[in-house]
Amino acid sequence: MMDEYGTQYTQDNNDIKYMSLAIEQAKKSIPAEKAYCVGACLVSKDGELLTTGFSRELPGNTHAEQCALLKLQDPNLASGGTMYTTMEPCSTRLSGNIPCVQNIINANITRVVMGVREPPNLVQCEGVQLLEQHGIQVFIVPGVQEECLAPNKHILH
């Protein structure tokens, strides 16, 4: 099964478990006027939870995926791992920070599992296309869209 853009769905129990954890992280995000509330968790290639993150958790207008990567004790642990995120990783940063897609590519993450594509309310996101162009597998967990978008009512009203 795939979404309307051809991105594959995943029914894997671990993917569902870690997406639930990412959703819990998203709920910790303090809403900001022009920024989504996103949650993420990073899992090693061996299936071990490495870190979690949520939007603006760390100083500097940080995104969830960025926080998860910044919190790694050893950046090499991300190599070959999976990034779980409630929303498509950003391809453009209005703040001037490095886009999350580029951080994921730089970390040699080989798989991204997301809850929803980024709504076009702020920027036109090309995260999935850029990840796939770099050979990174992208999957969507079906049935979590409402939960992933819920912390973003301040933008999606």
- Per-residue pLDDT tens, the chain, 157 aa: give them: 988 888 999 999 999 999 999 999 999 999 998 899 999 999 999 999 999 999 999 998 899 999 999 999 999 999 999 999 999 999 988 777 899 999 999 999 999 999 999 988 887 889 999 999 999 999 999 999 999 999 999 898 7
Is 65 assigned a catalytic role? yes
Residue whose structure tokens are 């980024």:
118
Domains of the chain, residue spans: 8-152
> Can you give the length of the chain in residues?
157
Evaluate if pTM is beyond 0.85: yes
DSSP letter for 35, please.
B
Q: Can you name the CATH fold of 8-152? A: Cytidine Deaminase; domain 2 (3.40.140)
**Which alpha helices (H) appear in 52-144, and where do they start and end?**
64-70, 100-106, 127-133
What are the two backbone dihedrals, phi and then psi, of residue 50, each rounded to the nearest 5 degrees? -95, -55
Catalytic residue among 24, 33, 65, 147: 65
